[in-house]
Every structure is written in C-alpha cells, then in structure tokens.
A and B are shown apart, each in its own frame.
Chain A
Amino acid sequence: MTPTEANAPVLKLQDIHKMFSGITAIENFSLEVHPGEIVALVGDNGAGKSTLIKIISGVHSPTSGTISIEGETVTMSNATMARSHGIEVVYQDLALADQQSVYMNMFLGREPVNGFGLLDRRRMIAETDKLVKELDVRIPSAHATIRDLSGGQRQGVAIARATHWASKLILLDEPTAALGVAETAKVEEIVLSLKRRNIGVLIISHSLDQVFRLSDRICVLRRGKQIGVRETAKTDKNEIIAMITGLQQQ
C-alpha cells in the first residue's frame, strides 16, 4: 500500500506476554509497525492498550517475548533506552510536570546547557516558541506553567514534545481524548505529517471514525488477547466493533 512497506519494520513485537502479580494483562501479542505507517490499537477499557504502550516504551518489561527496533532485538529496562532509539510517547496521563513551565517540560530530561554547564533557557524558549507556532498549539507563552493551561493545551504540549523528539516511532495513547473538534483535527493533521516524515505511528483511540480516517492497519485487543489485525481499507466498522466486543464471531 505504501512504498515503504517493503522496508524493515521500525517496531516488531513477537509473542509479548505480560503478567501483573499473577494476572495476565497481555498474551501472545505480535505486531509490526513500518516506517511511515499508522497502526491503530483499539479495544475496550482495560483491554491492555496502555500496558502495551508502556511495554514498548520501557516503563514495564514484558514477562516474555521480544521487541525489535529496526530489526535489532532490544531489551528496554527503562524509558531512557526507548528514547535513545528514537521512540517517543504521549502517555494517557500526559506525563507533564505541572508546576514547571511549558519550555522546561518540552526539554524535560534533555535540557541543553551552555559552556558553563548552566541551563540554556534562551534556546529552550526559542525552540519551544518555534515548535508551538509550527504545530499551532495555542498556549499563552513558553513561560506558562502547565497547571494554568486547559486540558487541551496540556495535551498539545505533550504532543508537541513527542513530535519534536521522535525520529523513528511515536506512540500515542488517546491523544485527542480531551480535545474539541478543531483541536482534534489539528492533532490528526500532525499525525499525518509524522507519516510524511516516515515516522511509524502507533495510536490508541476509542473513536472509530478517527481510526478509519487515519490508520493503515487496525489491531484489536480484547482482555489482553490479540483478536486480529486488519488493513483499514479492507474492513469496516461493523467488523471492528464485532472484534472489539466479541458479540459476533467473524
């Protein structure tokens, strides 16, 4: 479908298993995401979608199974490793430091310093301003404190941060959950621009309309089990809903 599909997958999950103190959260999960491909991950509440994202980003380690980035098997023991592999995440809870400024959040853990080892605030502010303008995230200023922003503005900051740093893969956990109609459209435009940058996208969404608008493939999870993967162009909402709910066998 896309010319890049022949390339090695940027992300390959094989037989991922995850137990939380004896309870299976994910079982037998396998999936590939190719550069420039948008894969949607759908399923009801508690299906294991966020858990899967956290396994890929290194917050949780899988009980068994392998993760490969560009054909190379990796063990992610913490979030730093995922980031060094060019993977960025917008978590469901956004992972923002509420009392800090927008620009400090934008550079959290990667703050640039000057020749004296002191924070290069001017650069952080300038780059934040530029990014915010590019992505059309409407925030009062790079100096604004996160807790003074609206839910949509916070989400905008988290998305801007991830798109700024991602080089291979971006994981989005319900990125438009708090957004209005216009803001949702804007985020969808950003997601498509990532695709044009040849970045792989794994997006969780409860909006099937959005999933069908954006994705190349749809992966369905139900109670930790992978029900199936469909090419978006070759399926319809009824089939996906049946897979999500399990009310009707395909």
Chain B
Amino acid sequence: MSSANTSAVGQGLANRFNLQQYVVYLGFLAIFLFFAVVLKDSGFLTVRNLSNIVLQTAPATIMAIGLVFVMSAGEIDLSIGSTVAVAALAAAVTLGQYGLVAGVLAGLGAGLLIGLINGALVAYVKLPSFLVTLATLGLFAGVSRSMTDLRSIPVTDSVFTGFFGSGVFLGIPSLIWWTAIAVAIGHIIYRETRFGAHVLATGDNARAASVSGISVPRIRLAVMAISGTLAGLAGLLYAGRLQAAKYTLGETDLMTVIAAVIVGGTLLNGGRGSIIGALVGSLMMGMLNNGLILMGLSVSDQMIVRGLIILAAVAVSLREKSR
C-alpha cells in the first residue's frame, strides 16, 4: 500500500507536505475570490461584513480546537453540540444569582464535567467515543431543555457581555481576542509539547504509544476534557454576544465544527492534524454561510451546498490516509 509509493522516499521535504495539509488554504482562497467577484456589489468585501464573519465563527473555532485534539487522538466528540447550551445556561443562571466569577466558573465547569464524563467512559470503561458522545449529545440536549423549561435566560451583566461578547480591547473586538488566544495556545500545546506529541501517537498507534510508556487512557481522558471545556467556553461566548442563553445554542454547530476540522487537515482516524488548519476551516465555513446568504440562497440550498463541500473534504481526507 504505502511501500508501493517509492517516489516519495528520498524526498525528505516532499514527505512533510501533502495535498490535505494545504487544500484548506487553497479552498479558503478560492471561495474568498469567488464571493469577492460574485458579491462585489452585495457588501461581501466590506470591513464590517468580513469582521462579522470572524465574530460569528468565534464559538465554532473554539470548539474546533478541542475537536482537533480529540480527533488526533483517534476519538470523536459529538456531545459538543449540546454542551454549549448546558454551559451557557449554567453560566447565565449562576451569574444572575452569585455574580460574575461564579457564572464564568459554572459555565466552564459544566463543560469540563461533561468532558470528564465522556472521557472516563471512553478511557476507563473503554466504550467507543462515537457511541458515548452520541448518547451524551442527546442526554445533555435534554438537560439543557429541562434546566429552564425551554425559557431563554437574559444575561445583563455588562462586564460579562463585554468580556465574552461585544467588548473591544485595544481596538480589537473581544471575540477576536478569544479566537486568537485560543488558537495560539492550542497550536503551541498541540505542536510543541510532549502532551501534543502523545495525543498524536495515541491516535496513530495506541499500542505503540502504550509500549512507549504513554498512558493512553490518560490521553483519552484529557482530550475529552479539553473538548468539553472549550465547548463550555464557546457557550460563554454565545451568551456574551447574544446577551442571553437558550437551549438552542450550538445546536447546529456540530456539523460545521466537524467539517472545519476535517477540511483543516485533521485526519478522521487520528495521528495527524492542525490547529491553524481548523481555524482556516472554520473561517471558510463562516465565509461560506455568509456568502450563500448574501447570494440569496434559501436555507435548504445552503444546507445542500455545505453538505457537498463536507463530502468533498472527507473524500480528500480518506484518500490521503490510505495513500
């Protein structure tokens, strides 16, 4: 299979690059240029519209960072779709009663707790993460609905909404700060630490990782906890930007986030991935949404186009893996 590809051997540099690693940048550029031409009179290229795209994708980008860790370790986390709402509601309710710090801790804590539950079931009970998080996705969707009887909880604390939503610091919107900081820290941990290397090794060959002294269960627990906590942070960002929390938050993000991560060069089966790629993938998904709306496509047509793009991305991902 791979040994047949003798042409790759002997080109040390060529081995380090492959189509999937930069297809996201080409795709991003192509879609950007396409919309820039087609929508030049519809306001696509305005600073306001472009910065709106970045602001709107902030929660999805944060979730995507967590998912890069999870997928690189060979797992999946579907529960992020409902973790967002649980965390946002927990934060909103606690914020109203016990103040700012308690609210923030409640939101992040809810995400961490869900991540630890998923992680413990995957790492120590050894259940497949697909089934575990499919179950907890449904379970916590129910929890978020029962928490406030489907009601929306307003978030009025101006410090909170400024910090997590509409604020501006040094001339840059806080949501862009959050995105930039999360991407930078995520990238460094993923690429430059032993933990990141062990995550990749675990997803690549769990047995090899294990005989090399890496605690595979601990890695699996950790990636699920990271994903849960970042989904919790995404919940805070939604609550801050919308100044309210509701059970519907994050409901439609799951597919977008998975698509962003896969388009961004992270392999579905683990062992290889990219945080920067996931950022660009997420921006690309946001740009696609924005452009398709400006083009006047119906919601159903938007869904079809997005589905097709995800299909193409998965095809490239799997082709590269079996090369």
Contact = CB atoms under 8 A, between A and B. Distances in A.
A148 B193 contact: no
A23 B107 CA distance: 52
A143 B12 contact: yes
Given A98-B271, A109-B214, A148 B2 contact: yes
Interface residues of A, number: 36
A100 B213 contact: no
Nearest to A114: B192
A119 B194 contact: yes
Nearest to A111: B194
Contacts of B194: 111, 113, 119
B47 interface: no
A104 B8 contact: no
Interface string A82-97: 0100000101011111
Interface of B: 2-3, 5-6, 8-13, 15-16, 188, 192-194, 197-198, 200-201, 204-205, 207-214, 267, 271-272
A73 interface: no
A147 interface: yes
A210 interface: no
A95 B208 contact: yes
Contacts of A117: 193
Interface in A132-171: 140-141, 143-145, 147-151, 153
A97 B212 CA distance: 10
B16 A143 contact: yes
Given A83-B213, A95-B205, A118-B188, A140 B197 contact: no
A97 B204 contact: yes
Given A91-B211, A109-B212, A140 B271 contact: no
B266 to A, nearest CB: 11
B15 A108 contact: no
A109 B188 contact: no
A64 interface: no
A100 B16 contact: no
B160 to A, nearest CB: 33
A148 B9 CA distance: 6
B3 A150 contact: yes
A110 B12 contact: no
A118 B194 CA distance: 7
Contacts of A100: 197, 200-201, 204, 271
Nearest to B8: A148
A59 B208 CA distance: 11
Contacts of B13: 143
